[in-house]
Amino acid sequence: PVCSMGNSTSRLYSALAKTLSSSAVSQHQDCLEQQDSAQLDPIDPKDLLEECQIVLQKRPPRFQRDFVDLKKNAASNHRPIRVMQWNILAQALGEGKDNFVQCPMEALKWEERKCLILEEILAYKPDILCLQEVDHYFDTFEPLLSRLGYQCTFFPKPWSPCLDVEQNNGPDGCALFFLKDRFELVNSANIRLTAMKLKTNQVAIAQTLKCNETGRLFCIAVTHLKARTGWERFRSAQGCDLLQNLKSITQGAKIPLIICGDFNAEPTEEVYREFSNSSLNLNSAYKLLSPDGQSEPPYTTWKIRPSGECRHTLDYIWYSQHALNVNSALGLLTEEQIGPNRLPSFNYPSDHLSLVCDFSFNQDPDRLL
């Protein structure tokens, strides 16, 4: 169907179109020196969603995923805080290094894949968005999300593997976005993780926010730990370093905490146990979807590489269980929805599933510590 576009939408379309062409690394400085995106006109999310859908006309529709209600009759006197965790797959890695043997290259075209990522974000409307493998921050995510009302922070890896790929768009890293009308930034820390006292290539962002509605403080952190088999002890050391940093930032759990990340670690790994047993009193939100509330989902990433099929649980949303309730969590895609060629695909832009949870504050957090 032909979609007619009024003036406001065509202006928006041109804003979206400007982000379609990949910028070279040398142009990054220009992005930093350009007019602050926050000074540009705000974007109506409905208009941006419509523009994405026009670009995606020839692709199959988005998968239906439903939220599972997890409230235990706990009445909350404030709007829940929706947090989204997602490794979106760096464009340079998807096209150049990851070897998704069942995924056609056409499905990875940035012009369309970008719109699939934006469509997913716009569909779930997170108050806080935590992303990993972001290599189009300056030309896509920061310009668009700042105009949707988010405050944006990016911390690239010191030696990103994206830089080894020809015609890359700069380094990938972690990015954190929060809605400025819901939260006020109190403190922000960019953390380069260490292991065995050495600085590593993995990073985290931790921000203390004040909820405007309740006046309550909480800390939100995003990270992406070292990948690959054989690096379990290294990930464990990185996890210990992150926990130490967060203990300091949250004054030993006085400030409630939410940690989003691709940990590159199954629940059987030491780093998972460190987070489970930490003095910060953390629980993994997606365990609550299991019948007994004790088991992680069967997978958060599912792909086929030359070495074979990889189906793992690597992505988590950890939270202070004494101070926060999980009201609901977004169900995962079924095997049937994912399909035999696995991820990414024409339907879904990343090899990792997005995780989304709604949180509320406990009324008396100290009693449960």
- Residues facing residue 305 across a β-bridge: 308
What whole-number percentage of the chain has pLDDT above 70? 87
CA distance 56 to 119: 10
Average pLDDT over residues 324-331: 97
CA distance 44 to 259: 29
Helices (H), the chain: 7-18, 28-33, 45-55, 91-96, 110-124, 142-147, 232-249, 270-276, 335-338
Inform me whether the pLDDT recorded for 168 exceeds 50. yes
CA distance 266 to 43: 39
Inform me whether the pLDDT recorded for 367 exceeds 70. no
Over the stretch 311-323, which tens digit does the pLDDT of each residue have? 999 999 999 999 9
366, 323 Cβ separation under 8 angstroms: no
Inform me whether the pLDDT recorded for 5 exceeds 80. no
Inform me whether the pLDDT recorded for 30 exceeds 90. no
- The pLDDT score that the predictor gives to residue 299 is 97
* 23 band by pLDDT with thresholds 50, 70 and 90: very low
CA distance 89 to 59: 19
Structure tokens given for 290: 């299991």
Residues near 46 by Cβ (< 8 Å), separated by ≥ 6?
none
Structure tokens given for 269: 């790994």
Helix or strand (DSSP H, E) at 208: strand 198-211
Q: In what order do the strands lie in the sheet with 217-224?
A: 183-195, 198-211, 217-224, 257-262, 315-320, 282-284
- The pLDDT score that the predictor gives to residue 9 is 44
What whole-number percentage of the chain has pLDDT above 90? 79
* 198 band by pLDDT with thresholds 50, 70 and 90: very high
Residues near 224 by Cβ (< 8 Å), separated by ≥ 6?
87, 132, 133, 174, 202, 203, 261, 262, 264
* 77 band by pLDDT with thresholds 50, 70 and 90: confident
CA distance 360 to 213: 12
- The pLDDT score that the predictor gives to residue 31 is 40
3-state secondary structure of 111: helix
Inform me whether the pLDDT recorded for 115 exceeds 80. yes
Inform me whether the pLDDT recorded for 301 exceeds 70. yes
Average pLDDT over residues 73-97: 88
Distances (CA, A) of 276 to 185, 224, 289, 293, 320: 27, 17, 17, 14, 11
* 37 band by pLDDT with thresholds 50, 70 and 90: low
Inform me whether the pLDDT recorded for 246 exceeds 80. yes
Only one residue has tokens 């146990």, namely 273
Q: Domains of the chain (ranges plus CATH)?
A: 78-363 (3.60.10.10)
pTM of the shown model: 0.90
